[in-house]
Amino acid sequence: MPILATKLYVPPFRPNVVLRPCLIDRLDEGLQSRLILVSAPAGFGKTTIVSEWAAGCSRLEPEVHPAWLSLDEGDNDPARFLTYLVAALRTVAEDVGEEVLGMLQSSQPPSAESMLTALLNEITTLPQDIVLVLDDYHVVDSEPVDEALAFLLEHLPPQMHVVITTREDPRLPLAKWRARGQLTELRAADLRFTPSEAAKFLNRVMSLDLSAEDITALETRTEGWIVGLQLAALSIQGRSDAADFIQSFTGSHRFVLDYLVEEVLQRQPQRARDFLLQTAILDKLCGPLCDAVTGQKHGKRMLERLERDNLFVVPLDDLRQWYRYHHLFADALQAYLLEEQPDQLPALHRRASEWYEQNGSQSDAIRHALCSGDFEWAAGLIEQAGTLVEDSTQAAMWLNWVGALPDELIRARPVLSVWYAYALLGRGEMETAEAWLTDAERWLEPGQSRPEVVVDEEQLRSLLGTIGVARAYYAHSLGDVPGTVKHAQRVLELLPEDEQYRRAQATALMGMTYWASGDLAAADRVFVDYSASLLAAGNLSDAISATTVLTDVRPTLGRLREGADTLERLLQIVVDQGEPVPPDTADLYRGLAEFALERGDLAAAGEHLRRSKELGERGELPVWQWRWHVAQARLKTSEGDLVGALSELDEAQRLFIRTPLPDVRPISALKARIWASQGRVAEGLEWARERGLSVDDDPDYLHEFEHMTLARALIAQYENDQLDGAFRDAGTLLERLLHAAEQGGRTGSMIEILSMQARAHQAHGDTDLALAPLERALSLAEPEGYVRVFVDEGPPMIGLLQEVASRTIAPNSARRLLEAFPSTGSDGAHPSEARFAGSGSLSEREIEVLQYIAEGLTNQEIADRLYLSLYTVKAHARSIYDKLDAHSRTQAAARARELGILLL
């Protein structure tokens, strides 16, 4: 059945309806505004007038092509809404939206705004004008859909227009658009029939012969409500007492509904009346479906008859295969059925569910199963649909279904319990998911009887392996490496070779444990093989995810070039496959930016991060989001914008989510490093205390980065306060960290630790002792092109490198690194203040703050002038002092004048 087409069919314009030229003109004029809103209660002819206008859009100059989308409650799902929106547009522009449809099919679809941006960019290139009609928008009750539509309307290209018909005002910024003259509105007062229109409708269309007095009376009583007039006319037909009837035709909306049942429904033959009531539960009707629900064989003929008799049946396709009842009529039928024959409802819904299940409409089958109250039947259908939990666009809908089932029923079905746990794990509800896994495992204990209901024998047989993957995921998300290994190995032992998907998941989780344990070489092998197998299977999205793990592993191993080459080769595969580029590719660009930063190529790093952001914003990639901000913080740090870097880390922390990825470089540690470089030693040491870090800890890879950060804070403390204890503690800690890194083969870590040892000795005034670890660091770094690990140490490293070059220890390497330090002025010198004191290193905001500092304003006064918080001003001031090597306001102002920073 062409179900999709039913939503895209423009209701036919009947030539014998009342023509309403004034409303047509209003709609024509509305094309000059952002939105045409046709909002009125049920039965005011909203769809009729808009379909009449749409049918005549070809007369406009330039010609406007209508794209029609009839909405229903299923369109509350943003992915479904966007799918149908694109399908509607493709009825007038055949190839539009191809990229968006591809995004919607991905395992991690982009955000609605990203997809709409791509769609709008395509529409901008179209030669024709388009008007998108969203009919019955009141059935949508979804904030994400409202937000998506608002974004679309805010960014409409000039050749696109939107019309909304609705019974209630949508949750859109109507007041703003109204104030700006960007909204055209047709309300109930505009749509109601005038007396002359009512006369034409009643006497011409409904073939009545009413007097002017009767028409006026009826029009007054109905207040021009078109359906009310139609209901009245249907009742008048064949009556000899029309005038008396009209005089009695008054009352509330409820009265009209009662009247509809009593005077329209009950006037139908018994066969038609039974058909109407039994099929009232259906959102859409076709002959075979109606036959299944009613148990009769005349469904198609009955639908044709109802349409012919104007009994509120609306065709949904050109072939007259699918129909729907007028919403008001359907409401009345359902209310009457519930009141008079409630015992029929379960059986009717069950028959509808069975038909939909047999005809491949899974979601409709489940919806009617739940309405039937037959939860056993519903549970079976929901269990069969369990794989939807691994599709991010469907998981929420599946969770809503299973949430309607009694817990006891879920517990009686181990496969369903495990699917429920998988869905909860994907939402980060770890503890709740674990409880459902435990319930499922009870069925698999020795001596336990077989579950009474088994939907899929194969899934039951492989259930231990499926649970094992979930257990491994859960364990590693909580940092339980031994538990992860145990469960992942169990999966590999239990599942046969042909269970490739689950085995691959278990293998990847094993790789995570190697990574977290510090065996990075083993982790590297696992993810290289895993990525290759995914590529061979055509699973490009997961291959990207697996490969980007190497962004973290290989720099630590000291394999920069190989890591970057691997990412570039995979990126070429992505490029070669053409558009649309998977949103996951954003992580490849992020990884390339990380490698470029290590090599000191800030321009390349910035370009990679720009491209990463462009792609990543097309999809919902929560892990990429916070990791992108971390990479951006590193770039800002390298550019000397420490306040900006901290801001990026704040955003990363806000977006951070718990996953099985080892958190070996916590965001809080990255912040502490910046504090240490700013001289905020107390804050750095307080961070270490809060994390429970000590110089006496046994080194392990999972905390290696944090311990190196603690060492940096101790070195900074010695530089500030000349405390010998801080120097000794830093030296002892670095020595132990170096030994652990050597044992683990972590060359990248060794380079950083050695450079820190050199810095510590230099701070202690012993340049000769500093040169030995620095020479070793240079020899390890040169083959792979490490740069930032030295440059980010700042001015003190310049002096050490100059000393290295002068003693011909490693002159070429030292000179190349010295060239990586930014210079100031035109003399080409490398003053130690170059990066940290040059005006180019100050951001525009910092220069503003510096100007007010020089004028003598207090921090609070500066905050008031710039509309900033006091904390933000203090942070900018600390960064300015650091960059200018100043220790007071007076010094900062004087140093800025020396450097030629304009303070106007």
The tens digit of pLDDT for each residue in 252-295 reads 335 455 656 665 677 788 898 899 999 999 999 999 999 999 99
Residues listed for the chain = 904
Q: Taking a C-beta distance cutoff of 8 angstroms, is the pair 352, 324 a contact?
A: no
> In this structure, how many other beta carbons lie within 10 angstroms of the beta carbon of residue 158?
7
pLDDT tens digits, 435-460: 999 999 888 887 777 777 778 777 88
The token pair that represents 17 in the structure block: 């309806």
> Has residue 878 got a pLDDT over 80?
no
What pLDDT, on the 0 to 100 scale, is given for residue 839?
41
The token pair that represents 772 in the structure block: 């030995």
- Alpha-carbon gap, residue 7 to 268, rounded angstroms: 29
Closest CA to 816 of 781, 841, 847: 781
Q: What is the 3-state secondary structure (H, E, C) of 725-783?
A: HHHHHHHHHHHHHHHHHHHCCCHHHHHHHHHHHHHHHHHCCCHHHHHHHHHHHHHHHHH
Kind of pairing between the strands at 64-70 and 35-39: unpaired
Q: What is the band of 828 on the pLDDT scale with cuts at 50, 70, 90?
A: very low
Q: Which of 69-78, 274-283, 445-454, 760-769 has the lowest mean pLDDT?
A: 445-454
- Alpha-carbon gap, residue 304 to 266, rounded angstroms: 19
Helices (H), 239-385: 242-248, 253-259, 270-278, 287-294, 299-308, 327-340, 345-358, 362-372, 375-384
Write the CA distances from 315 to 11, 21, 48, 605, 828, integer angstroms: 7, 25, 13, 57, 79
What pLDDT, on the 0 to 100 scale, is given for residue 438?
92
- Alpha-carbon gap, residue 831 to 849, rounded angstroms: 25
Q: Taking a C-beta distance cutoff of 8 angstroms, is the pair 796, 762 a contact?
A: yes
Q: What is the band of 501 on the pLDDT scale with cuts at 50, 70, 90?
A: confident
Give the 3-state secondary structure of residue 479: coil
Percent of the chain with pLDDT over 90: 45
What pLDDT, on the 0 to 100 scale, is given for residue 327?
65
Kind of pairing between the strands at 35-39 and 183-186: parallel
Q: Taking a C-beta distance cutoff of 8 angstroms, is the pair 705, 664 a contact?
A: yes
The β-bridge partners of 314 are 324
- Alpha-carbon gap, residue 318 to 68, rounded angstroms: 14
The H or E element that residue 70 is part of is strand 64-70
Exposed, middle or buried: residue 343 (CB in 10 Å: 0-12, 13-18, 19+)? exposed
> Has residue 713 got a pLDDT over 60?
yes
Q: What is the band of 393 on the pLDDT scale with cuts at 50, 70, 90?
A: very low
- Alpha-carbon gap, residue 527 to 547, rounded angstroms: 7
What pLDDT, on the 0 to 100 scale, is given for residue 17?
55
The conformation of residue 9, written as its DSSP 8-state character, comes to P
- Alpha-carbon gap, residue 472 to 834, rounded angstroms: 50
Average pLDDT over residues 649-672: 91
Cis ω before 109 (30° cut-off from 0): no
Across the chain, which distance is largest between two alpha carbons, in Å? 118
- Alpha-carbon gap, residue 833 to 680, rounded angstroms: 19
What pLDDT, on the 0 to 100 scale, is given for residue 249?
56
* DSSP secondary structure string for all residues of 674-715: HHHHTT-HHHHHHHHHHTT--TTSPP-GGGHHHHHHHHHHHH
* DSSP secondary structure string for all residues of 25-37: HHHHHHTTSSEEE
Comparing 76 with 447, the larger pLDDT belongs to: 76
pLDDT tens digits, 508-531: 999 999 999 899 999 999 999 889
- Alpha-carbon gap, residue 593 to 588, rounded angstroms: 9
What pLDDT, on the 0 to 100 scale, is given for residue 495?
87
The token pair that represents 473 in the structure block: 């995921």
What pLDDT, on the 0 to 100 scale, is given for residue 640?
86
What pLDDT, on the 0 to 100 scale, is given for residue 546?
87
Ranges 738-747, 822-831, 854-863, most confident: 738-747
Q: Which of 93-102, 348-357, 493-502, 693-702 has the lowest mean pLDDT?
A: 493-502
Write the CA distances from 192 to 168, 188, 325, integer angstroms: 16, 6, 22
> Has residue 340 got a pLDDT over 50?
yes
> Has residue 827 got a pLDDT over 70?
no
What pLDDT, on the 0 to 100 scale, is given for residue 21?
87
What pLDDT, on the 0 to 100 scale, is given for residue 394?
67
Q: What is the band of 27 on the pLDDT scale with cuts at 50, 70, 90?
A: very high
The conformation of residue 171, written as its DSSP 8-state character, comes to S
The H or E element that residue 135 is part of is strand 129-135
What pLDDT, on the 0 to 100 scale, is given for residue 824?
39
> Has residue 622 got a pLDDT over 90?
no
Kind of pairing between the strands at 129-135 and 313-315: unpaired
Average pLDDT over residues 829-841: 40
866 φ, ψ to 5°?
Answer: -100, 5
Closest CA to 335 of 275, 410, 281, 411: 281
Q: Which residue has the tokens 């590193």?
A: 634
Q: What is the band of 3 on the pLDDT scale with cuts at 50, 70, 90?
A: very low
What pLDDT, on the 0 to 100 scale, is given for residue 904?
40
> Has residue 868 got a pLDDT over 70?
no
Closest CA to 311 of 333, 343, 281: 333
Q: Which residue has the tokens 């800025």?
A: 896
Closest CA to 78 of 321, 397, 432, 352: 397
478-509: string of b/e by CB count within 10 Å (b at 16+)? eebbebbbebbbbbeebbeeebeebbbbbbbb
Mean pLDDT of the chain: 85
pTM, to two decimals? 0.59
- Alpha-carbon gap, residue 813 to 796, rounded angstroms: 17
Helix orientation angle between 362-372 and 395-403, rounded to the nearest 10 degrees: 20
What pLDDT, on the 0 to 100 scale, is given for residue 504?
85
> In this structure, how many other beta carbons lie within 10 angstroms of the beta carbon of residue 104?
18
Comparing 162 with 72, the larger pLDDT belongs to: 162
What pLDDT, on the 0 to 100 scale, is given for residue 195?
87
